[in-house]
Amino acid sequence: MAILNIVKEGDPVLRGKCREVTEITPRIITLLDDMAETLHKADGCGLAAPQVGVRRRIALVEVEEGELIELINPEIIERSGQQEEIEGCLSSPGKWGITKRPMKVTVKAQNRKGEEFTVSGSGLKARAFCHEIDHLDGILFVDHAQMVDPDELEVE
């Protein structure tokens, strides 16, 4: 496994629509493993493939330590409620903003074996799903966030 470079805002790879994964190859498995190691090293709660320079529909979410969710070709199939919370991004270091997201979402995706599954999340997990899936369509949280001054935040 390897720590990958996290692409920063301004790099065109973050603005492209990602291609669907049509076959789970050893290269895809290596990417998943490397992304997991990169996410843990960066101490984030989500990471999408374009953030490491790969335009494929792959994302990871881990809002609770040890509960890594790998999402291949994810799509949100249900959403309900609303939340407005502070959000940041590993590709936009030092930037924070208030975003409106659904309170609960259900995502359909494939796992590393190519098996389809659904997973639901609320609160932070729902926000993370939405944030990472946005990355797969070239959308960054700064596109729809009400930005806040980082000096006025108490971020843990």
Q: Which of 62, 70, 87, 132 is catalytic?
A: 132
What would the two tokens of residue 18 be? 């990602």
- Known active-site residue 20: no
Torsion of CA 48, 52, 54, 58, to 10 degrees: -20
Q: What is the pLDDT of residues 15-63, one digit of tens each?
A: 999 999 999 999 999 999 999 999 999 999 999 999 999 999 999 999 9
The answer, yes or no, to whether residue 154 has pLDDT greater than 70, is no
Q: Where are the domains of the chain?
A: 12-152
Which CATH number is 12-152 given? Answer: 3.90.45.10
Q: Give the model's pLDDT for residue 46.
A: 98
